[in-house]
Amino acid sequence: MLLPTQPAAWQGKENRQSAPPERQDSFRTSNDRATLSDIATLAGLSTSTVSRVVNGSRCTSPTARARVQQAVAELGYMPNVLARQLRSSRTKTLALVLIDIANPFFTGIARGVEDAARAQGYTVMFCNTDESVDEEMGYLRGLIQRRVDGVLLVPAVNSRGSLELLQQHGVPVVVLDRRLGSGQVDQVRADSEGGAYLAVRHLIELGHRRIAILAGPESLSTSVDRVDGYKRALAEASIGARSQQILFGEYTEGSGYEMTSRILAAPSRPTAIFAGNNSIALGALQALRDSGIHYADDMSIVVFDDLPQGGSLPFLTAVSQPAYEIGKLAAYMLIERLATEEPLEPRVIVLPSSLIVRRSSAPPRLTSSAGPRSAKAIAGPARTHRDPNGLHPSPGLLANLRPCPTGSTLTKASPVAGTGSLKLP
């Protein structure tokens, strides 16, 4: 996950066996590692030449190449990346600083970042902040000291000085997932507003009128945007503002549990819950269980963020974000910026989210409102995708745990903004 194989040209399988194992070269004590000049003397060449063939620079004769390779193999030479980096003042290293890599959404981002980076010969370091600004700052400082070439940042909740610190030290940044700062930074994220709109409209189309949204921290752009989408969907359906039920909390299981409990205790209980992210959903599900409330039947639930469909929760209707693409795109943007000389305008890319309908959302059981809307409305411009596994009838215990194929076709939730001319592989 962290260090890609060094793509150096000389890196054929080291045929160490070609050298007599007991050989103890006079200029190499047992544990001292061979250096460039070691192999230079062994090969009877200068360090520059050796350096050239090791780095695959052209301008080397076949004979020189052969002798160097021979010496490299013989001594088991491994270039000292530190020295190389110090000299060239480029580390070919990126950092991804994020909230919680255990969260599937961020894991997806991380994969995208690593794949893109590795494809360009970059190594990436992953740093978990656990939503702590102090951790974030600490990591950032460490990364600057390590002279990473650039940083991909998913800022923690009240992150403030981070961008300034980075820019102060001339470290290029791309901000992921969450809006940050005055806009003078490259950014990549999914469309929170549009995704939330889709989700809530879906619930409305099922006949729900009292829908609660369990959002994250009010100070986070994703929370605000998702609430905006929620509001838009309600407004569009002429559902009065007094029917709104908006709770701000944290993006944690505990907070989801707590918010759900509050909702269930309140007088006018909603018929559907829109969870602001996957952790909140997990907590919400637990709260429902503990109250003996069945999802779908008694309470519809839709999640922002899809969950891994492997073994446990394959029944949740969810807004899916293109996590992998976010990471990949962000890495490419960053690397591109590293390649050029400063003249790029800050770019903001918003990728479409989409809705995957499964079994956790159903028409409300006993509602005073009208039933589901016309089929036309459902089949209309709603950019949703109905998961075949969501359609299995009579969801018994076992059926509930049935796996669901991952290859869900995603549909656009909103237009892409400002994609610019990023060159992808």
Task: Provide the binding-site residues for a second copy, judged by CB under 8 A.
Answer: 1-6, 11, 16, 30-31, 33, 76, 78-83, 85-86, 91, 95, 101-102, 107, 123, 125-128, 135, 138-139, 141-147, 168-170, 253, 282, 285-286, 288-290, 292, 294, 310-313, 396-403
Query: Residue 173 CB, nearest distance to a second copy (Å)?
Result: 14
Q: Is the dihedral of CA 49, 55, 60, 64 positive or negative?
A: positive
Query: Cβ distance 154 to 109 under 8 Å?
Result: yes
Among a second copy, DNA, none, residue 312 binds (CB under 5-8 Å by kind) = a second copy
| 123 touching DNA, by CB under 7 A | no
In angstroms, the CA 291 to CA 298 distance is: 11
Cβ closest to DNA, residue 147 vs residue 392: 147
Number of residues that bind DNA (CB under 7 A): 30
Span of 87-95, 190-198, 264-272, 314-322 interacting with DNA by CB under 7 A: 87-95
Q: Which is closer to DNA, CB of 49 or CB of 222?
A: 49
Task: Assess 368 for contact with DNA (CB under 7 A).
Answer: no
Out of 14, 28, 70, 84, name the contact with DNA by CB under 7 A: 84
Tell me: does residue 47 bind DNA (CB under 7 A): yes
249 makes contact with DNA (CB under 7 A): no
User: 351 by DSSP, 3-state: which?
Assistant: strand
Contact partner at residue 48 from DNA, a second copy, none, CB < 5 to 8 Å by partner kind: DNA
State yes or no: residue 55 binds DNA (CB under 7 A). Answer: yes
Which one of a second copy, DNA, none interacts with residue 109, CB within 5 to 8 A by kind? none
Q: Is 294 in the site for DNA (CB under 7 A)?
A: no
Compute the C-alpha angle 127/111/336, nearest 5°. Answer: 85
Q: Which is nearer to DNA, 169 or 365 (CB)?
A: 169
For a second copy, the closer of residues 311 and 371 by Cβ is: 311
Q: What is the dihedral of CA 299, 304, 306, 307, to 10 degrees?
A: -60
Does position 73 interact with DNA (CB under 7 A)? The reply is no
Q: Is 45 among the residues that bind DNA (CB under 7 A)? A: yes
Nearer to a second copy, 262 or 402 (CB): 402
Locate 217 and state its tokens.
């921290």
For residue 279, which phi and psi values (nearest 5 degrees)?
-65, -45
Q: Which is nearer to DNA, 44 or 420 (CB)?
A: 44
Question: What residue type is 366 in one-letter code?
Answer: L
51 touches DNA (CB under 7 A): yes
Residue whose structure tokens are 């899809």: 306
* DSSP code of residue 253: H
Which of 18, 29, 31, 63 is the binder for DNA (CB under 7 A)? 63
Nearer to DNA, 35 or 103 (CB): 35
Cα–Cα nearest to 408, from 343, 360, 354, 336 = 354
Decide which of DNA, a second copy, none touches 282; Cβ closer than 5 to 8 Å per partner kind: a second copy
Residue 28 CB neighbours (<10 A)? 16
Side by side, the strands of the sheet bearing 300-304 are 245-248, 211-215, 272-275, 300-304, 317-320, 354-357, 384-386
6 binds DNA (CB under 7 A): no
The answer to whether 37 contacts DNA (rule: CB under 7 A) is yes
Q: What are phi and psi of 273, to 5 degrees?
A: -120, 135
- The C-alpha atoms of residue 49 and residue 108 are separated, in whole angstroms, by 43
Nearest to 126, CA basis, from 105, 106, 145: 106
Distances (CA, A) of 43 to 9, 20, 74, 154, 197: 18, 17, 10, 49, 68
Q: CB-based contacts of 320: which residues, under 8 Å, 6+ apart? A: 305, 306, 353, 354, 355, 356, 408, 410
Tell whether residue 46 is a contact of DNA (CB under 7 A). yes
Q: Is 69 in the site for DNA (CB under 7 A)?
A: no
Residue from 61, 158, 219, 419 binding DNA (CB under 7 A): 61
The binder of 309, among a second copy, DNA, none, by C-beta within 5 to 8 A per type, is none
- How large is the C-alpha radius of gyration of the chain? 27
Name the residues that contact DNA, by CB under 7 A. Answer: 32-33, 35-37, 44-49, 51-52, 54-55, 58-61, 63-64, 77, 79-80, 83-84, 86-89
